[in-house]
Amino acid sequence: MPEPQSVISKEHIVTVFIQNGLNQAASVQVLGNISGTNTGAVNVGTAISAAASGNAYQTFDALQTSGWLPYISVAVTCSTAPTSGAITVTLLYPDGYSQTIIVNNDSIRDTSTHTAANDAAISWTQWL
């Protein structure tokens, strides 16, 4: 008799890894949506804080804690305007090989909220 299959599978898990090279702390809010746009996007979980010149991460399990939406992106905010550095946010999948950069070396220099709607360095991608 075959082993029962778990409802939880690797496809429902993603780690958001933040490499904050900015000289100020950054807040990264994960966003989800039914389409790859900011229109109608909702927050997924709570914001992740990344110290200045530091790394941070959070793992999301769509079936256990965060809920699943087919598209994922982020909103990045700094409470103090950075004067140097850049931030990169990468999605890591548990197969050990798949990763998607959704914030690509973004040199933020203000306190505005940066999203794919107003910052070309930020993109939407499908949650694998």
List CB contacts of 97: < 8 A, sequence separation 6 or more.
none
Kindly report, residue by residue over 4-24, the tens digit of the pLDDT. Answer: 444 445 668 899 999 999 999
Percent of the residues in the chain that have a pLDDT greater than 90, as a whole number:
74
Cα angle at 10 between 9 and 11, to 5 degrees?
Answer: 90
Model confidence pLDDT, tens digit, residues 37-79: 999 999 999 999 999 999 999 999 887 766 788 999 999 999 9
Where are the chain's structural domains? 14-126
| pLDDT at res. 64 | 76
